Structures are given as C-alpha cells and as structure tokens.
C-alpha cells in the first residue's frame, strides 16, 4: 500500500452566507483544516489540523512530497520523517505540530480501516466505553442548563481578571456535585501575584482545576502559583510534542495536562504525553476549544486507551454548521460521548458542505472586552500587561465566607 496524494479542506467556521461576521462565532475569524490521505488501494484516511489552519495547510502541502509512495502503515517512522523535515524551518511549533497531527491522525484512520478495527483497539484497547466531557458557561443560567442536559462538569473562562463572584455564583447554581473549572486563558492579564491572590480566594469553591493562571510561557510564574495556591492547576493547550509538554510534567507544575488533539503532534504523541503524565500522577483533559469535529473523534480514541483520563473539553454549539461537515454526529449523553466503534476513526467528511464555507479570514480581532486591559491601554494591543489594578479588574470582592 502506498500513499498517492493528500488533499486539504480549509473552511471558514461561520457565519453562514448572508449573515454578517458578527453573527458567527469567533468574530468570524476561525478556520478548520481537514485533510484526506489517499492510497493506491483506494483506502483513505482523514485528519484535522489546528495550530494556524491556513498556514498549516501550506505546511501539509509541503510535507506531502515526503509522503508520496510511502506505506501509510509505518506511522511512527513517517512521523519521524516528517518531524525532521521541519528542522530546516525551525521545527515550527504548533504549525508543524498541527500538520503532523492531521497527517498522523489520517494514517491511523487508514490503518484502522485496513484492519477493520477502531483506532482505540489498535492502541491497546479500551478502558471505557464513554468519555466524560465538560461544557462552558459564563452565567449561572447557562451552567444550570448544561447540568439539566446531563453535563456534570462546567468551565468558566475569562479574558482579563477572574470574576470570583461569578465563579462563586456558578458554584452556587450547580451545587457541590458538579465539577467546576476556571480558565484564566494565559495571556498575562494577571501577574503571578494576581493569579495567586485570585487562586487563594477560589480555594473554597472546590474547583476541579485552575487553568492557565499565568502566561504559559512563564513557567517560573506558574511555579510560584503552584507553590502558593491549593487548587489543582491545568495547562498545556498551546504546546506541541512530548518536548513541549515535558517541563510541565517534569517540574510537576500542573495536575492536569491539556494537549490539543489538532496540534499536539498526533495520536501517538498524545499517548506518549499521557504516559509521561501518568508517571507523575498527572491526568489529561485534552483541549478542544478551537477544534472541529474530526479531531474530537481522534481525542476519543486516545482517551479510551489511557488510564489517566480526566475529561474532554467539548465545544458543542459554537456554530450551527459544526454538525453538517462530518458524519456521524457525536451526541453527548449524561455528560459523556460514546466511543466510536467503526473501523478507523469512525468519522467521514461531508465535502459538499465544507465547500460551502471557503476560508476568508484566519486571524482574530483583539478582544472587544476593554475590561481585559488597564484603562487607557486598550489601543496599544499589547500581549504583556504590565499592571491590572486588582480592585477594578480582578474583582477580589469575596471574603472568606465560603
């Protein structure tokens, strides 16, 4: 069996034709990139890449020349061949990680189809038949709605400082039996001291984890938060490969790693990350915030086969077209997704639907939330925030009545 071609499918994620960008999610800026690896025997595999989809598409096209004529079943060897091929480009971080993820995912899809087995059965078999997921809420009402639909875990995310009162009100709304998480989203809206102050205030809210409390590039700041706050920490959604996640695990900086299935480097990289984490009694809760529906299937196959699963992030209703571009559609039940059982990944692209949404834009506008920035600095568009006044931005209004 030989690889004959790789086709890419780059699409704009919302809005639908006739609607303004404001009506779509992600301020009209998000792309999904799917690919299809074809072989001389007719079997094909599909995958999904994130990282910077429009740029990753070109990376996939560049790497295709290294794959034509190769046996798609030699998955690990081909991964290494491709990884070293990126060396001349500086190894390329999540762009390379995105390309490798989608390609490697598709190679597993081919192998599963050839052997008539779901991918999870080629990875050591399953621990479980369903994978727990969590949803996103920015209000007590939304959190209650998720719980009413069977979710048993809810995450609240912030741009700018963490609103502790909102976190507390969501905890009150869902009760003590629902897992609650807080994502501070990493950019240095908070200094280490801010993140520590916020974390200490939230210690009584029984959080499952406190995610990216400081900029993830700043591991020493993460260490400071780690040492000072008694809440499990989570990070790792922006890194690729085992070498990217290594310091988080080796330094025991987190309790939960969050590799992104579309840019971590592939299914095997995810499993190796899980094994590294397992040796430190760290769990894995893959990031899915920017992913489309193919990578979600890949995440399920990985998560079926590792012991240290926490749960999978679930973007369920970001854009109504999400469920038109693949088949079948995954539906959560009782806060979990069923494990696919068809050979390969168990998902197919609906190419006619994908073609309706050509990529038009792939860079986000900066957040419109002026509250995320120190007054007077909104127009500077800086990533590094030198100072946020705690009283107005971090909303440290709670005392210790919890």
**Chain centroid to CA 131:** 15
Integer-rounded Cα Rg, in Å, for the chain is: 21
Q: Which is nearer to Mg ion, 38 or 237 (CB)?
A: 237
The kind and range of the H/E element at 61 are: helix 53-64
**Smallest distance from the beta carbon of 32 to Mg ion, in angstroms?**
18
> Binding segment for Mg ion among 65-73, 177-185, 370-378, 394-402 (CB under 5 A)?
177-185
Q: How far is the CB of 31 from Mg ion (least distance, A)?
A: 19
Nearer to Mg ion among residue 256 and residue 326 (C-beta): 256
Which residue, 269, 197, 190, is CA-closest to 231?
A: 197
Q: Which is nearer to Mg ion, 163 or 183 (CB)?
A: 183
- Decide if residue 313 touches Mg ion (CB under 5 A): no
The stretch among 131-139, 182-190, 269-277, 302-310 that binds Mg ion (CB under 5 A) is 182-190
Report the C-alpha gap between 171 and 165 in whole angstroms.
10
What is the rounded distance in angstroms from the CA atom of residue 239 to the CA atom of residue 241? 7
Minimum distance from residue 292 beta carbon to Mg ion (Å): 17
CB 237 within 8 A of CB 289: yes
**How far is the C-alpha of 339 from the C-alpha of 328, rounded, in Å?**
12
Shortest Å distance, C-beta 372 to Mg ion: 15
User: Judged by CB under 5 A, which stretch of 44-52, 87-95, 181-189, 191-199 contacts Mg ion?
Assistant: 181-189
Query: Which residue's CB is nearer to Mg ion, number 136 or number 395?
Result: 136
Task: Give the residue at shortest CB distance from Mg ion.
Answer: 183
Given the rule CB under 5 A, which of 78-86, 178-186, 260-268, 340-348 is the region that contacts Mg ion?
Answer: 178-186
Interface with Mg ion (CB under 5 A), residue from 38, 48, 109, 183: 183
Nearer to Mg ion by Cβ, of 183 and 296: the residue is: 183
User: Closest distance between Mg ion and the C-beta of residue 183, in Å?
Assistant: 4
CB of residue 237 vs Mg ion: minimum separation in angstroms? 5
Q: What is the dihedral of CA 11, 16, 19, 22, to 10 degrees?
A: -60
* Closest CB to Mg ion among residues 3, 146: 146
Nearest-approach distance from CB 77 to Mg ion, in angstroms: 33
Which has the closest alpha carbon to 105: 270, 236, 242? Answer: 270
Read out DSSP for 185-232?
A: -SSTTS-HHHHHHHHHHHGGG--SEEE--S-TT-HHHHHHHHHH--S-
User: Whose Cβ is closer to Mg ion: residue 194's or residue 212's?
Assistant: 212
- Ramachandran class of 124: left when φ > 0, alpha when ψ lies in -120 to 50, beta otherwise: left
Residues annotated catalytic, as ranges? 185, 287
The number of residues in the chain equals 402
DSSP-derived 3-state class of residue 38: strand
Burial of 131 (0-12, 13-18, 19+ CB in 10 A): buried
The span of 36-44, 53-61, 180-188, 197-205 binding Mg ion (CB under 5 A) equals: 180-188
User: What is the C-alpha separation between 268 and 286, in angstroms, rounded?
Assistant: 14
Please provide residue 139's backbone torsions phi and psi, each rounded to the nearest 5 degrees: -150, 155
- What separation in angstroms does the CA of 96 have from each of 57, 187, 243, 325, 379? 10, 22, 13, 25, 32
Residues near Mg ion (CB under 5 A) are 183
């Amino acid at each position: 069996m030989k690889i004959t071609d790789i086709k890419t499918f780059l699409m704009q994620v919302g809005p639908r034709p006739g609607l303004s960008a404001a009506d779509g999610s992600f301020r009209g800026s998000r792309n999904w990139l799917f690919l299809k690896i074809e072989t001389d025997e007719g079997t094909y595999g599909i995958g999904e890449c994130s990282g910077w989809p429009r740029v990753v598409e070109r990376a996939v096209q560049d790497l295709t020349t290294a794959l034509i004529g190769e046996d798609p079943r030699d998955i690990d060897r081909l991964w290494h061949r491709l990884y070293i091929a990126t060396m001349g480009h500086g190894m390329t971080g999540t762009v390379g990680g995105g390309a490798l993820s989608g390609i490697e995912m598709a190679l597993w899809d081919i192998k599963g189809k050839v052997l008539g087995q779901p991918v999870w059965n080629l990875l050591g078999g399953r621990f479980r038949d369903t994978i727990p997921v969590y949803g996103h809420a920015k209000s007590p009402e939304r959190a209650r709605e998720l719980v009413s639909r069977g979710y048993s875990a809810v995450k609240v995310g912030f741009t700018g400082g963490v609103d502790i009162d909102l976190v507390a009100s969501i905890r009150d709304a869902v009760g003590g039996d629902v897992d609650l998480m807080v994502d501070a989203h990493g950019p240095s809206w908070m200094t280490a001291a801010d993140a520590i102050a916020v974390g200490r205030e939230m210690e009584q809210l029984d959080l499952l984890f406190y995610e990216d409390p400081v900029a993830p590039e700043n591991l020493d700041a993460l260490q400071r938060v780690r040492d000072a706050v008694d809440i499990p920490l989570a990070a790792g959604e922006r890194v690729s490969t085992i070498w990217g996640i290594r310091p988080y695990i080796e330094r025991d900086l987190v309790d939960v790693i969050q590799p992104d299935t579309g840019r971590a480097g592939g299914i095997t990289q995810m499993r190796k990350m899980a094994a590294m984490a397992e040796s430190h009694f760290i769990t894995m809760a893959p990031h899915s915030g920017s992913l489309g529906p193919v990578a979600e299937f890949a995440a399920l196959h990985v998560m079926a086969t590792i012991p240290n699963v926490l749960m999978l992030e679930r973007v369920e209703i970001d854009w109504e077209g999400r469920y038109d571009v693949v088949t079948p559609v995954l539906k959560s039940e009782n806060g979990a997704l069923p494990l696919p059982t068809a050979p390969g990944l168990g998902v197919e692209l609906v190419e006619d639907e994908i073609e309706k949404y050509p990529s038009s834009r792939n860079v986000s506008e900066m957040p419109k939330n002026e509250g995320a920035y120190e007054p007077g600095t909104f127009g500077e568009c800086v990533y590094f925030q030198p100072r946020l006044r705690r009283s107005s931005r971090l909303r440290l209004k709670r005392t210790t009545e919890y």
